[in-house]
A and B are shown apart, each in its own frame.
Chain A
Amino acid sequence: MSRFRPPPWFVLLLPAIIILSAVVLIPLLLSLYSSFTPYRLTRPETLYKWIGTYNYEKAIESAHFWAAFGRTILLLTIALNLEMLMGLGLALLVNKVTYGQRTLRTVMMFPMMFSPILVGFQFKFIFNDNVGLVNNALQSLGLSNVAIPWLVDGQLAFFSILVAEMWSSTSVFAILILAGLFAVPRDPIEAAKVDGCTPWQSFRHITLPYIMPFIYIALAIRSLDVARAYDIVQIMTNGGPARRTELLWTLIGRTGYVDAKMGYANAMGYISIFLAIFFTIYFFRKLNAARSELGMAG
């Protein structure tokens, strides 16, 4: 009769598992349950009424929901791709610098220290149609004589949000890709030069395969964190004007807290969770593929 002794790895992981269960898993189960009820914050008894998949059906039939869903995907796709490209460009620029590279690297990390909500306010300020930096500059330079409604016009607001989001997150890509560039061995690049490659060709055929894993790490890290964009959007437009910049997250927040329809909001929340999980797993898989390509796996 020996007492059951859990393996050491399990004991070590236990605190993490407990706290994540308590703070993430259990509330998520609760929200899963409440998504099948018409729960309203103002009327607690509604938590016990089972209405099946009604909330989900409602979401699926709702044009607002699909508009927000599509816009979220669009924003994420454009933002992640542009951030990746610009981060790559920035990393390549900084990598070529020989003097003062440390300083540049530090400057490059600057936006990472800004709270997303701060980024939101900052760009709300910069894009303000009346006193914002952008309009003031355009008008002072004589490039425009009217106040451009950056945050009022639907498409301009989408653009402004995109700029703010890219400002705050491009450096994550740049930093990680730069780390990747440091890790690229010098020899194969030189061999490629001698083999007749133009700078573009040696980048395309040698450097890029080497830094691909780093790009995917950056994408994976970012996709873990995409909902950061919520803070920015909430401050800059809060989905407005008239839902023209509504994202899944602002829609959920408003439905839950302003309209107090918790059940419905949780149903949509679940859809947003699956969206995030999908992106994350996708990039983790890509990362593994890129790693085995270079023989780094294992």
Chain B
Amino acid sequence: MAKVNLRKVVKKYGALQVVHGIDLEIDDNEFVVLVGPSGCGKSTTLRMIAGLEAISDGEISIGERVVNDLPPRNRNISMVFQNYALYPHMTVRENLGFSLKIAKRPQEEIDRAVEAAAQILSLSEYMDRKPGALSGGQRQRVAMGRAIVRHPDVFLFDEPLSNLDAKLRTQMRTEIKKLHQKVKSTIVYVTHDQVEAMTLADRIVIMRDGHIEQVGTPLEVFETPANTFVATFIGSPPMNLLAGRVADGEIAIEGGPQIAVPDPFSGKVVNGQEVILGFRSDNLMPAGHAMPMEGGFTEFDMKVDLSEPLGTETLLFGSLAGKEVQAKMLNPRPVSDGEELRFQLDLTRCHLFDANSQQSLR
């Protein structure tokens, strides 16, 4: 259990810089998820915390200790790898106990710790098998067990679920969450899957191109995305974005409807400013199919090009100003392609970004 601090951490490979001086403070017992598209530097960051990659500049500390040049073995961390990284020539029991054996702990202590970990992860039946004879989910659990056994200061997870099928992934996700509740500990978790990030994290760190785009709780990053990248990356389906220009308290969408500047943003925009209007499909609904919207909303007609019924709701695809827009219909009825509907857009839940900086105007 320890804090992890990154200060102006830089990673360069020769002339290529992949992490551009990031700052991040991770609290005791906090579950932090680094998320971003592939190549954003999230795994590199994790590996620098682990000591598997040297840092080119800046400072990393675990607890109160600066660990810049320490080898991984002196950082008291444990890590779960994407490909499990089990030792193929050892049984499950030997895999679990390996780190303690290396640390020359007494045999009975090793046995106790291994047994306890096996209990937590229900691995007891497989203790004498080798990894080759285990299923993907079981291997994943062994990898996690190996991490638990050491009682490290920090757990590092490098896309641990990406090799599992969808069903198992959901199941293991829950197990990881439970694990965090049982084994109170600081966790840094890397994934490219925003659903994983949302469900697991105390705080999410969204990265792109070696920069941190936003740090916040899952709801913060969902409800107040700092820029258009975060807005489209978090949440599914991605946020609708429409370019427009501010004119007299309204946003003129090029070739589309005029929409009043949403309340939270009035006074933060100037006439003639190029902006991007963002809203989620949940906030664009056909009129008369849900509770009537309270507060400010605006209405316009839109042709539905395609509909995807999901049961409790139906996704509607239309286009505004030449861009595809997704809307949601609650209490759905069948919609035929090409049908023109009247839509209501909830202005209280709209977002506004500056078109040049792509940053939120909030």
Asked whether the complex places CB atoms of A and B closer than 8 A, the reply is yes
Given A192, A201, A206, A295, which contacts B130 in the complex, CB threshold below 8 Å?
A295
Residues of chain A within 8 A (CB-CB) of B88 are 188, 294-295
Say yes or no: B73 contacts A197, CB within 8 Å.
yes
Q: A193 near B: Cβ within 8 Å? A: yes
User: In the complex, what's the smallest C-beta–C-beta distance from B141 to chain A, in angstroms?
Assistant: 15
How far does the alpha carbon of A185 sit from the alpha carbon of B83 in the complex, in Å? 10
Set of chain B residues within 8 Å of A190, measured between Cβ atoms: 50, 52, 72, 79, 81, 85
| Distance from B320 Cβ to chain A, minimum over Cβ atoms (Å) | 47
Number of A residues with CB within 8 Å of any CB on chain B: 19
Within 8 Å by CB of B150, from A185, A196, A205, A293, lies: A196
Residues of chain B lying within 8 A (CB to CB) of residue A206:
87
Instruction: Give 1 or 0 for each of B132-165: 1 = CB within 8 Å of chain A CB.
Output: 1000000000000010001000001000000000
Q: Which residues of B contact A192 (CB under 8 A)?
A: 87, 98
Contacts of B103 in A (CB 8 A): 196
Instruction: Tell me which of B51, B78, B88 has the highest count of chain A C-beta atoms within 10 A of its own C-beta.
Output: B88
Judging by beta carbons under 8 Å apart, are B85 and A196 in contact? no
What is the CA–CA distance of A203 and B62 in the complex, to the nearest angstrom? Answer: 27
B99 is an interface residue with CB less than 8 A from chain A = yes
Check B102 against A196 for contact (C-beta < 8 Å).
yes
Assess the A191–B85 pair: CB atoms within 8 A.
Answer: yes
| Residue B338 interfacial (CB < 8 Å) | no
Question: A209 contacts which chain B residues (CB < 8 A)?
Answer: 89
* Contact status of A188 and B99, CB under 8 A, knowing A194-B79, A197-B73: no
A188 touches B87 (CB 8 A): yes
Q: Are A193 and B72 in contact (CB under 8 A)?
A: yes
Known: A206-B87, A295-B88, A295-B132. A195 touches B102 (CB 8 A): yes
Most chain B CB atoms below 10 A, which of A194, A198, A205, A209: A194
- Taken residue by residue from 30 to 71, chain B's Cβ proximity to chain A (1 for < 8 Å, 0 otherwise) reads as 000000000000000000001110000000000000000001
**B79–A188 contact, CB under 8 A?**
no
**In the bound complex, do residue B130 and residue A191 qualify as a contact, i.e. CB atoms below 8 Å apart?**
no
The chain B residue sitting closest to A290, CB to CB, is B89
Q: Which residue of the partner chain A has the closest CB to B77?
A: A194
Residues of A within 8 Å of B98, CB to CB, are 192, 195, 205
The reply to whether B99 and A195 form a contact with Cβ atoms under 8 Å apart is yes
CB within 8 Å of B: which A155-204 residues:
185, 187-188, 190-198, 201
Cα(A264)–Cα(B263), bound, Å: 109
B179 to chain A, nearest CB (A): 18
Per-residue interface assignment for chain B, residues 219 to 231, with 1 indicating a CB less than 8 Å from any chain A CB and 0 otherwise? 0000000000000
Known contacts A188-B87, A294-B89, A194 near B130 by CB under 8 Å: no
Q: Specify which chain A residues have a CB less than 8 angstroms from the CB of B78 in the assembled complex.
A: 194-195
Q: Which residues of A contact B52 (CB under 8 A)?
A: 190, 193-194
Complex Cα distance, B91 from A293, in Å, reads: 11
Q: Whole-angstrom distance between the alpha carbons of A136 and B83 in the complex?
A: 57
Count B-side interface residues using an 8 Å CB cutoff. 27
- Chain B 80-102, CB-CB to A under 8 Å as 1, else 0, gives 01111111110000000011001
Measured CB to CB, the nearest residue on chain B to A201 is B102
Which residues of B from 290 to 320 have beta carbons under 8 Å from A? Answer: none
Chain B residues with CB under 8 Å of A194's CB are 50-52, 72-73, 77-79, 156
Contacts of B102 on A, CB cut-off 8 Å? 195-197, 201, 205
Majority DSSP secondary structure for residues of B touching A: loop
CB of A99, distance to nearest CB on chain B (Å): 10
Beta-carbon contacts under 8 Å, B197-253 to A: none
Residue of A nearest to B73 (CB): A196
CB-CB under 8 A from A205, the residues of chain B are 87, 98, 102
Chain A residues lying within 8 Å of B87, measured Cβ to Cβ, are 188, 191-192, 205-206
Most A CB contacts (10 A, CB to CB) among B99, B130, B150 go to B99
A293 pairs with B89, CB closer than 8 A:
yes
A188-B85, A294-B88 given as contacts; is B73 within 8 A of A198 (CB)? Answer: yes
CA distance A291 to B23 in the complex (A): 47
A145 to chain B, nearest CB (A): 49
CB-based nearest B residue for A293: B89
CA distance A294 to B130 in the complex (A): 9
CB closest residue in chain A, given B78: A194
Q: Which residues of B contact A201 (CB under 8 A)?
A: 102
Residue of A nearest to B131 (CB): A295
Whether A195 contacts B89 by the Cβ 8 Å rule is no
In the complex, what's the smallest C-beta–C-beta distance from B78 to chain A, in angstroms? 6
Given the complex, which residues of A lie within 8 Å of B83, measured CB to CB? 185, 187
How far does the alpha carbon of A192 sit from the alpha carbon of B87 in the complex, in Å? 9
Set of chain A residues within 8 Å of B51, measured between Cβ atoms: 193-194
CB-CB nearest in chain A for B83: A187
- Hey, which chain B residues are within 8 Å of A196, CB to CB? 73, 99, 102-103, 150
CA distance A37 to B212 in the complex (A): 88
Question: What 0/1 pattern do residues 99 to 139 of B give for CB contact below 8 A with A?
Answer: 10011000000000000000000000000001010000000
- Chain A residues, CB < 8 A from B84: 187
Q: What is the CB-to-nearest-CB distance from A292 to chain B, in angstroms, rounded to a whole number?
A: 10
Residues of A within 8 A of B77 (CB): 194
* B206 vs chain A, min Cβ distance (A): 26
Shortest CB–CB separation between residue B187 and chain A, in angstroms? 14
Shortest distance in angstroms between B330's beta carbon and chain A's nearest beta carbon? 46
Enumerate the 9 nearest inter-chain pairs by beta-carbon distance, A residue then B residue, closest first.
Answer: A187-B85, A195-B99, A191-B85, A295-B132, A193-B72, A196-B73, A194-B79, A209-B89, A194-B72
A residues in contact (CB < 8 Å) with B? 185, 187-188, 190-198, 201, 205-206, 209, 293-295
Q: List 28 A-B contacts (CB under 8 A).
A: A187-B81, A187-B85, A188-B85, A188-B86, A188-B88, A190-B79, A190-B85, A191-B79, A191-B81, A191-B146, A192-B87, A193-B73, A194-B50, A194-B51, A194-B72, A195-B73, A195-B98, A195-B99, A196-B99, A196-B102, A197-B102, A205-B87, A205-B98, A205-B102, A206-B87, A293-B89, A295-B89, A295-B130
Please give 6 more A-B residue pairs, beta carbons under 8 A apart, in addition to A187-B85, A196-B73, A295-B130: A185-B83, A191-B79, A191-B87, A196-B102, A197-B73, A209-B89
